[in-house]
Amino acid sequence: MRGYFAVGIEGISKAMNAGSMMRTAHAFGANYFFTVGSHLKKNELMWSDTSKTLNNLPVFHYETIQQLERPRGSRVVGVELTDDAIELPSFAHPRCALYVLGPENGSLSESSLAVCDHVIKIPTQFCINLAVAGAITLYDRMIYMGRFAPRPVRSGGPTESLGEHQFGGYFSRKEKQKC
């Protein structure tokens, strides 16, 4: 898959959520992770980050969103429940994206929203946990960007395999059973 993505969190105060989001970003193949206005310490993050993201992925800390270094061609995508946000199932993920999520007990700041090229929302009835929102967003990116077999018309999985997926594993259950 071409392109890259990074995941960031703004104003987070709970180390467990930060560690879970870091671990999720790492699991989905993020190129780096960043925080904005967070003052969590490394030892606070280790308890929920069992994949040891801090040892395997660059992590950058910025005091303000304006300090965020944007690689050329990247788009900043805010994940926030706003009236004008694009619903995630209808969103075309940019090839090069920096996803930023807001704090547990609030929203992305106005300055962060102003920096965003796109704002997306997960069509839920109310706010969900930060790490869950990040996982859903990254899963959607993987489905959108990946080479998966088309969904079947009836319940169940595809009957033909397209081979091994870039994130590992096989495309159909039938192939997986051969392992």
CB burial class (10 A; 0-12, 13-18, 19+) of residue 132?
middle
Digit-coded pLDDT (tens) for 88-128: 999 999 999 999 999 888 899 999 999 999 999 999 988 89
Quick one: pLDDT at residue 153? 81
Radius of gyration, alpha carbons of the chain: 17
Confidence (pTM): 0.83
- Count the neighbouring beta carbons within 10 Å of the beta carbon of residue 15: 18
Cα–Cα distance, 131 to 79 (Å, whole number):
12
Burial class (CB in 10 A: 0-12, 13-18, 19+), 107: middle
Q: What is the pLDDT of residues 40-54, one digit of tens each?
A: 776 666 666 677 787
Cβ burial, residue 123 (10 Å; 0-12/13-18/19+)? exposed
Give the model's confidence band at 156: pLDDT under 50 very low, under 70 low, under 90 confident, else very high. confident
- Cα–Cα distance between 160 and 171 in angstroms, integer? 8
Structural domain boundaries in the chain? 6-25+38-62+75-103+132-147
Does CATH number 3.40.1280.10 belong to domain 6-25+38-62+75-103+132-147? yes
Per residue in 8-50, pLDDT (tens digit) is 999 987 888 888 898 999 999 999 999 999 877 766 666 666 7
